[in-house]
Structure 1
Amino acid sequence: MSLFQNSVLNKYLKGLESEKVEEAYERFTSHFHNPTIQENIRNSKEEQYQGEFLIDLFVNVFGYVKNPTPDFNLTTELKNIKGSKKTDGAILKGEKALAVIELKGTNTTDLGKVETQAFGYKNNQPGCNYVITSNFEKLRFYIDNAVDFEEFNLFQLTKERFEILCLCLSSEYLLKDIPKKIKDESLTQEENITKKLYKDYASFRNEIFDAIQNENPEYDKLTLFKKTQKLLDRFLFIFFAEDRLLLPPNSIRSIVNQWTDLKDKYDEYFPLYDRFKKYFGYMNTGHKGHQHDIFAYNGGLFAPDKILDNIKINDDLLYKHTVNLSNYDFESEVSVNILGHIFEHSLNDIDEIQAEIQGVATEQSKTKRKKDGVFYTPKYITKYIVDNTVGKLCEEKKTELDIIEAEYEKERKGRQKATLKKLTKKLEDYRKWLLQITICDPACGSGAFLNQALEFLIAEHQYIDELQAKLFGDAMILSEVENSILENNLFGVDINEESVEIAKLSLWLRTAQKGRKLTSLNNNIKCGNSLIDDTNVAIEKSFNWQKEFQEVFAKGGFDIVIGNPPYGASFNNDEKLYFREAYSEIHKRTPESFNYFLYKIENIINTSSKWGVIIPSSFLYQHEFEKTRKYILDNSTVNKVLNLGDDVFQDVATPTCIIIASKEGEKSEYVDLQTIPRNLLPIEIFEESKLVNATSLIENESFSYIVKLNRELIKKCYNQPRLKEIAEEVATGISSGLIKHMFIQKKNILNSILNAQYLKN
């Protein structure tokens, strides 16, 4: 959720004037850390304190001038440019709002609920870059969009976190747009580090792989390549763990230095890889050392591997690449998000190398991931889909349990024990339910959607902890639920073995904590062909969902399915024949992988589930997918359709859409975002006010998921003879992603000679 890259943030933090920060922190703590004031704030209603809050924080601590004082740059009740709605406060630069402020009382625990309202105000203020939301106890700070934010607990804020708050909110920095500058520099730095690290990462893999082949001819190339990738995964985890103090710092560098000293100074040689294998063993079983202990993290990554434990690796290459990668700071430079991009790039390269090993020309194979129609999903897409599936299901459960935040904010003194017990029971019931929900990505790739779901669930457990702390007046202690989430809530399948291993690694990196064993994910993240359960068709990777996830299907199926199903994948003749028969309810003529995934999703979910996917927007209207659209409508309610247009995925022109559906529910909504500039899509996608009621969206002969605006035109078309009535069978050829070039504009029509018959009706 962090807005800033650590190394960039640290550079700006070093530039803070320590004396000014110290004085500001003293003013801040004298008010917001005063127990009596805290209690009074908690007992105040939103309207009672919001004006004073602006003075206490923005004026007294961060140096703003509030209206009506001359030359003010802080005001209240700023009206939208369009409409009559007003934001609670705004920071002004000249006459324009630079930041909008939306305030709630402390009885609003989840500030995420304020996002839609706050960004509605921002989008009505041209030139506004920042959104600030607060319930007087917590404060969130956003730049441009709602995808990432910084959250501060004002009542418990440390000096270190206050310095970051100062960079975000102080008039000295915000009015100069410094936070936006830090974010922009962070994005540039992340891009640069990603490119550089991936170059070194790929060089390590490729050179080690070449050397291993030469020194271990008894093994086939494909096996050695997979072991090379596993070795790299092990090193990456160690680099990450040692820089984040899960392991003794500079562990790899120390091993290399000790090996060099023994070889050069004491003439004691043994292969460098033997030293690393010993360390891998420590990671698996644990080790009590003279200077440092090593915890048994394991999780399967460091378990004994007969081939990997017996191959030979060139000393010089191993020395060169481990030292090179150890120069990166995996705490401040290399974030988990950067590693996510590294993993995605890696999967493309892996497929190229595997194609080469198997004798398939690279130009023909493209890469298996592109051949299989797989593309990296941007974070704002994964967040939107998770929020509207997992998030909606959680909201419905809290409503069912009658969990009302305001009830947990009331003063405990004088309340009956039975009331407190009842409120506690609601939270216990919610947590129990939360630990049992099942979320699946049937084409999980490197785990982007699973990681987003993990992030959401961790935040939801923290929300429960916060309500419990409010109820009993105790300090908030966050539950260590990450391993429980990995064991019970998250499931994934992918046809690519390396994708499965990398998805596991990405989840481990996000949840690893010092002294806590890694969760084995072998029963949750599996390799297989999600679409084919016939061993005669998919000989090695046929996948029987009911057999592989027996506990899930004993309860009726998954609660949530999310993902970016592959599209445009290639199939052999046996697979095409299989799809025609096994998917006969939705199959028409052209085999399309995402189409089959939609059918599969409907068959692996339970009767109260939700699902959300991003797929090509051709699904919304093409005749080829008419049977699938009807099948979905017969079995689920389509809640939301977002027509996104082109260029959502980098280097992919295919127009896409998001579909959110559920087994329970009646409301349908639609929004067309095709013409929105691509840089604004991460903002506009969360703008709920743009959704239009579309209950009658699908009331047409072909079940097209289109807006009402076009339905009359479609009806006109259906009054004309069908092409199939006057021509031979027509099938889809090569589909163009650049759909905008397929439209004829009025100005071109006027300058063209067109047969009047073509323009009839």
Structure 2
Amino acid sequence: MPNNQHSLFDPDLVAEYLQQQEVERPSDTDDIIDAIEGWTGTDTSLTERNLQQSFVSDVFSDVLGYTRPRGSAGTFELLPESLSEGGEGFPDVLLGHFEQDDGELVEDERKVVGELKDPGTDLDKVDPSRLKSPIEQAFEYAITNGLSVRWVVASNMEVVRLYHHGSIDHYEEWEIDAFLTDDGDLTETFWEFYFIMHRRYLIGDDTDSDIENLMAQNLSERLELTEDFYEFYREAVQDVYDAIITEDPDLTETGDGQLAAIQAAQTMIHRGLVICFFSDHPSGLLPDDLLKDVVETGRELPTLDDRKIYPLVQDLFRVIDTGSPDEYPYDIFGYDGGLFEPDDVLQSVHLF
């Protein structure tokens, strides 16, 4: 699975959703297990074209319940490798609501486009022959297959990814090798895949599907989080501004002084946010809990001065700008990006 920064859904929402689906687990899973076993430990020289039909049949039809067209009449949900509505390119899989009568499609509502690649293919790597990655190719199909497309699927037959059509940066990913235990039983990873990707939950019937509703809830919570963050941000900037003009009341006597105080307050908050983000980054851009450690160190200094933390924070800002000297307790690379350059207002006051 991708890390939380790139997940399509909030993990807590997914956990709550899966708990609600517990009672929907099918009791007879023999056919599902048989279909999956053929795709665990994939190690073959056969190509996408050799394997595509079997993969679609086993995974999308037998496991996920998408029915295929048969004969000349009836409804179905899986339309393999059909020419896109835009007339450009052939998606490997189209999922949606389809109906044919007398051999002609009378309903064609495309909900999901799918791109399949050979086992071992890096889904994010640019294909020199196409000058785009498999993921970028899949998103082009989302554009050329009409406004009803909501989801994008990509797979190299070892992992399966699901994207919302509105974001190429966020996705859910499942490794097929993680679908079965050593004893051949279905894992919790599989059930997450099942209850998100299954026909009943991903595309539903005529109304919004369970996963569309989950996506709406996810976006709603992100919006609430954004609004809460900006409220916190405004309050934090105001607090720092108040502290600055308490230290230097002369700044309020001119418009330029007030503006400088506001900009200094924003700079202070931005620096704190960047330090916390870099400290929490998977690449370890700054030491873990760096700002918290510096503040706690200041609190424990044996001095009677109540405002003993600020000098250490100012030192930290300078080190992040220029890099840490040998005697500094943290090994920090100088980022020299402008944000941490000396600020006249912040250097002239003593805030805490």
Q: Place the TM-score, normalised by the shorter chain, in its bin.
A: 0.5 to 0.7
Task: Flag structure 2 segments of 5+ consecutive residues without an equivalent.
Answer: 100-107, 128-132, 180-186, 252-256
* Larger relative contact order (CA 8 Å, sep ≥ 6): 2
CA RMSD of aligned residues (A): 4.9
Which of residues 209, 212, 215 in structure 2 aligns to 1:180?
212
Q: Distance in 2 between matches of 1:172 and 1:289?
A: 62
Aligned to 2:335: 299
Aligned to 1:120: 144
**Distance apart, 1:104 and its partner CA:** 5.0
Aligned to 1:574: none
**Are the equivalent residues in 2 in contact too, given 1:167–1:178 (CA < 8 A)?**
no
Q: Distance in 2 between matches of 1:281 and 1:156?
A: 48
Task: Flag structure 1 segments of 5+ consecutive residues without an equivalent.
Answer: 316-761
**Are the equivalent residues in 2 in contact too, given 1:273–1:312 (CA < 8 A)?**
yes
The percentage of counterpart residues that share the same residue type is: 19
How do 1:230-249 and structure 2 match up within 5 A?
230-244=267-281, 246=284, 247-249=286-288
Q: Distance in 2 between matches of 1:205 and 1:310?
A: 18
**Are the equivalent residues in 2 in contact too, given 1:262–1:269 (CA < 8 A)?**
no
Q: Distance in 1 between matches of 2:326 and 2:194?
A: 43
Shift of the 240–282 alpha-carbon distance from structure 1 to 2, 3 Å rule, reads: same
**Are the equivalent residues in 2 in contact too, given 1:32–1:154 (CA < 8 A)?**
no
**Distance apart, 1:114 and its partner CA:** 4.3
**Distance apart, 1:272 and its partner CA:** 3.3
- Measured against aligned partners, the alpha-carbon deviations of 1:560-615 in whole angstroms (never above 9, x if no partner) come to xxxxxxxxxxxxxxxxxxxxxxxxxxxxxxxxxxxxxxxxxxxxxxxxxxxxxxxx
Corresponding position: 1:131 with 2:133 = no
**Distance apart, 1:195 and its partner CA:** 1.9
Shift of the 29–56 alpha-carbon distance from structure 1 to 2, 3 Å rule, reads: closer
Which of residues 10, 14, 17 in structure 2 aligns to 1:12?
14
Aligned to 1:91: 95
Q: Distance in 1 between matches of 2:293 and 2:34?
A: 46
**Are the equivalent residues in 2 in contact too, given 1:138–1:151 (CA < 8 A)?**
no
Aligned to 1:44: 47
Q: How many residue pairs get matched? A: 299
**Distance apart, 1:215 and its partner CA:** 1.0
The one-letter amino acid paired with 1:309 is Q
**What secondary structure is seen at the aligned counterpart in 1 of 2:152?**
strand
**What secondary structure is seen at the aligned counterpart in 2 of 1:91?**
strand
Which of residues 263, 268, 271 in structure 2 aligns to 1:226?
263
**Distance apart, 1:194 and its partner CA:** 1.9
**Distance apart, 1:244 and its partner CA:** 3.3
**Are the equivalent residues in 1 in contact too, given 2:48–2:117 (CA < 8 A)?**
yes
Which of residues 228, 240, 264 in structure 2 aligns to 1:196?
228
Corresponding position: 1:311 with 2:315 = no
**Distance apart, 1:102 and its partner CA:** 4.0
**Distance apart, 1:233 and its partner CA:** 1.8
TM-score (norm 1): 0.32
The one-letter amino acid paired with 1:170 is H
- Measured against aligned partners, the alpha-carbon deviations of 1:640-661 in whole angstroms (never above 9, x if no partner) come to xxxxxxxxxxxxxxxxxxxxxx
Corresponding position: 1:62 with 2:90 = no
Deviates most, 65-74 or 114-123: 65-74
How do 1:639-658 and structure 2 match up within 5 A?
none
**Are the equivalent residues in 1 in contact too, given 2:96–2:111 (CA < 8 A)?**
yes
**Distance apart, 1:237 and its partner CA:** 0.6
Q: Distance in 2 between matches of 1:15 and 1:241?
A: 32
Shift of the 230–184 alpha-carbon distance from structure 1 to 2, 3 Å rule, reads: same
**Distance apart, 1:168 and its partner CA:** 4.2
Q: Distance in 1 between matches of 2:141 and 2:172?
A: 18
The one-letter amino acid paired with 2:95 is I
Corresponding position: 1:76 with 2:80 = yes
Shift of the 114–262 alpha-carbon distance from structure 1 to 2, 3 Å rule, reads: closer
**Distance apart, 1:67 and its partner CA:** 4.8
Q: Distance in 1 between matches of 2:188 and 2:227?
A: 31
**Distance apart, 1:11 and its partner CA:** 2.2
Shift of the 79–133 alpha-carbon distance from structure 1 to 2, 3 Å rule, reads: same
- Measured against aligned partners, the alpha-carbon deviations of 1:658-694 in whole angstroms (never above 9, x if no partner) come to xxxxxxxxxxxxxxxxxxxxxxxxxxxxxxxxxxxxx
**Distance apart, 1:57 and its partner CA:** 2.2
Shift of the 160–268 alpha-carbon distance from structure 1 to 2, 3 Å rule, reads: farther
Shift of the 100–12 alpha-carbon distance from structure 1 to 2, 3 Å rule, reads: closer
Q: Distance in 2 between matches of 1:26 and 1:312?
A: 66
**Are the equivalent residues in 2 in contact too, given 1:78–1:86 (CA < 8 A)?**
yes
**What secondary structure is seen at the aligned counterpart in 2 of 1:269?**
coil
**Distance apart, 1:193 and its partner CA:** 1.9
**Distance apart, 1:116 and its partner CA:** 3.0
Shift of the 213–267 alpha-carbon distance from structure 1 to 2, 3 Å rule, reads: closer
Aligned to 1:150: 171
Aligned to 2:309: 272
Q: Distance in 2 between matches of 1:252 and 1:28?
A: 51
Q: Distance in 2 between matches of 1:49 and 1:137?
A: 12
Q: Distance in 2 between matches of 1:82 and 1:241?
A: 43
Shift of the 99–187 alpha-carbon distance from structure 1 to 2, 3 Å rule, reads: same
The one-letter amino acid paired with 2:153 is I
